[in-house]
Amino acid sequence: MAESTAVRQSGRQTRAAAPAFDNSYAHLPDRFFTRSGANTVSAPKLIRINWPLAAELGIDAGWLESREGIAMLAGNGFPAAAEPIALAYAGHQFGNFVPQLGDGRALLVGEIIDTSGKRRDLQLKGSGRTLFSRGGDGRAAVGPVMREYVVSEAMAALGIPTTRTLAAVLTGDTVYRETPLPGAVLTRVAASHIRIGTFQYFAVRQDVEAIRLLADHAIGRHFPDLAKRDQPYLALLEQVIAVQADLVARWMLVGFIHGVMNTDNMTISGETIDYGPCAFMDEYDPAKVFSSIDRQGRYAYANQPGIAVWNLARFAESLLPIIHEDQDEAVRLAEEALKTFQAAYDVAFHRGWRRKLGLFAEQEGDLQLIGDLLKAMAGNRADFTLTFRRLAAEIEGPAGDSGVGRLFADPKEFDEWAVRWRRRLAEESKLPAERRQVMLSTNPKYIPRNHRIEAVIKAAVEDADFRPFEELLDVVVRPFDEQPERSDYALPPREDERVLQTFCGT
């Protein structure tokens, strides 16, 4: 279990050291970012520090919770070695190109080499205005900060590449959205904050030198082996296609809907980024959309792989000038690369489905079997997460009341499917226990359900009560553990608890 902040508050260390920042992005040319200082907030107060992550980063715990550490987490002041910058980027938002977005409410504090030797960005979100803020206040309300903390840490625990959350603090200031709300700052940890939109920013300015510098930086940081290739930039495109295909397949396998798959919210590293109006679906519905701003359903669950390809095509376009000097040839190579998405996606997606169903070998007819279950789930409004979690109880025969059927409007539809599934299982000589073990470590019991997140936010905003937040977080970072005393958290919402929409985290 994560240690609570309160426990750590005693025994202040005096010789604690600030993180050893080792910045690389801040040493790229000036047009990649703007330098930025502190934006003072009135009364920083810790909500929570992610101690296991702090340890992984090699950050001195004593320093992190010292006055200086909390000042950094609130954006009030930075250690000398930090070089705070706001990154420039562009992006397609809901299909419309915006040539300049940039970190309007975020600040890259600096980079740290973690205990396993990996370079990680430390970024504040909600730390105040920058030169990229346009009309915005640069701030974040406590609700979206808690959503990002819970969902990003749940994703990490599910084994899905993601940015992480190191800490959340209250600012003591009010931010104004539809209503006045407590302000907060989240510290995000990422392999980098380079997005497809970062490349687009330089592409639209026809700044080929910057595109090349950025590509070299991204290769050095994320895919160093590619530097030795004959065509490193084409290889970079192929690699980003591969990691994104894998990532989106993993989202699909847990029923995750990102909600704002704009090109500025898609990383080159392959980590999930930007938990705005995201949500896990309860009952299975391929057309499901949660985001209040996604009126056309552009980013609906089933559209996510197609949107990923669309975004990657924008990435490919941005790289054209450095892929080949002959632009017709560059286009041809880029199109070839984009075609590899589908196969990479299918591999990850189908492998994942087999595991979810407890199938070891690959057989003809498997995809039909999976598709038929999904069709029955959609028709019967079956809960996505629980259907797969409970499937392990059905291996040796119908599980009755504790089984999957109860999740279906018409249980017969599941029972009929299960007969075919068991027949398929019988064609493999695996022990039920072995199968169960794979299924229970693939199909989570706990996801951060939307109604739980809403309840957590309500308690924090209305009663300044963060205990529900702490409890939800502690449950979802152990998604595969039974945690019988927490079984309520596995349940779908009652009719009156259902959350129909989520709102962008601005």
Which residues lie near ligand AMP (CB under 6 A)?
Answer: 101-105, 132-133, 136-139, 260, 264-265, 274, 276, 504, 506
Which is nearer to Mg ion, 314 or 389 (by Cβ)? 314
Q: Which is nearer to ligand AMP, 63 or 275 (CB)?
A: 275
Minimum distance from residue 374 beta carbon to ligand AMP (Å): 30
Pull the structure tokens for residue 161: 């590449």
Nearest approach, Cβ of residue 470 and Mg ion (Å): 27
Positive or negative CA dihedral for 69, 71, 77, 83? positive
Q: Does 152 participate in binding Mg ion (rule CB under 5 A)?
A: no
CB under 5 to 8 A by kind: which of ligand AMP, Mg ion, none does 504 bind? ligand AMP
DSSP string, 242-259: HHHHHHHHHHHHHTEE-S
Rounded to an integer, what distance in angstroms lies between the CA atom of residue 445 and that of residue 442? 10
Handedness of CA 450, 453, 459, 462 (dihedral sign): negative
At residue 298, what are phi and psi to the nearest 5 degrees? -55, -40
- Which of Mg ion, ligand AMP, none is residue 283 near (CB under 5 to 8 Å by kind)? none
Q: In this structure, is the dihedral angle defined by the CA atoms of residues 289, 291, 297 and 301, taken in order, positive or negative?
A: negative
Q: Provide, rounded to whole angstroms, the least separation between the CB of residue 386 and ligand AMP.
A: 31
Looking at the Cβ atoms of 214 and 266, the one nearer to ligand AMP is 266
User: What residues have CB less than 8 Å from 443, skipping those under 6 apart?
Assistant: 356, 385, 388, 389, 391, 392
Segment interacting with Mg ion, rule: CB under 5 A, options 43-51, 259-267, 328-336, 478-486:
259-267
Q: Which does 125 bind (CB under 5 to 8 A by kind): Mg ion, ligand AMP, none?
A: none
- Coil, helix or strand at residue 102: coil
Q: Which two tokens stand for residue 338?
A: 């984009």
Asked if residue 166 lies in contact with residue 50, where contact means CB atoms within 8 angstroms, the answer is: yes
Q: Does 271 bind Mg ion (CB under 5 A)?
A: no
The least CB distance from residue 126 to ligand AMP, in Å, is 8
Of the listed pieces 153-161, 258-266, 294-302, 365-373, which binds Mg ion according to CB under 5 A? 258-266
Using DSSP's 3-state secondary structure scheme, residue 231 falls into coil
Longest dimension (CA), the chain: 67
Least Å distance, CB 103 to Mg ion, is 9
Q: Which tokens sit at 73?
A: 């987490």
Q: What is the DSSP letter of 186?
A: E
Q: Which stretch binds Mg ion (CB under 5 A): 231-239, 264-272, 292-300, 381-389?
A: 264-272
How many whole angstroms separate alpha carbon 357 and alpha carbon 395?
10
Pick the closer one to Mg ion by CB: 265 or 450. 265
* Min separation Cβ 261 and Mg ion, Å: 10
Which CB, 228 or 295, lies closer to ligand AMP? 295
**265 touches Mg ion by CB under 5 A:** yes
Binding segment (CB under 5 A) for Mg ion, from list 39-47, 62-70, 269-277, 290-298:
269-277
Question: Using an 8 Å Cβ cutoff, are 50 and 164 in contact?
Answer: yes
Q: Is 198 in the site for Mg ion (CB under 5 A)?
A: no
Q: Nearest approach, Cβ of 87 to ligand AMP (angstroms)?
A: 10
Q: If contact means CB under 5 to 8 A according to the sort of partner, which of ligand AMP, Mg ion, none does residue 133 touch? A: ligand AMP
* Of the candidates 142, 245, 225, 84, the residue with the CA atom closest to the CA atom of residue 461: 142
The yes or no reply on residue 272 touching Mg ion (CB under 5 A) is no
Alpha-carbon distance 320 to 343, whole Å?
23
Q: Is 274 in the site for Mg ion (CB under 5 A)?
A: yes
Which CB, 136 or 432, lies closer to ligand AMP?
136
310 or 360: CB nearest Mg ion: 310
Considering the complex, what minimum distance in angstroms separates the CB of residue 40 from ligand AMP?
17
Tell me, yes or no, if 246 is annotated catalytic: no
Under DSSP, the state recorded for 226 is G
Beta bridge partners of 186: 125, 168
Q: Which option in Mg ion, ligand AMP, none does residue 197 bind, with CB closer than 5 to 8 A by kind?
A: none
The amino acid sitting at 339 is K
Q: How far apart are CA 389 and CA 480, in angstroms?
A: 9
Spatial separation of the C-alpha atoms in residues 347 and 370, rounded to whole Å:
15
| Cβ distance to ligand AMP smaller for residue 274 or 282 | 274
108 and 188 Cβ atoms separated by less than 8 Å: no
* Site size for Mg ion (CB under 5 A): 2
Choice among 60, 103, 246, 264 that is catalytic: 264
Q: Which positions are annotated as active-site residues?
A: 264
- The residues binding Mg ion (CB under 5 A) are 265, 274
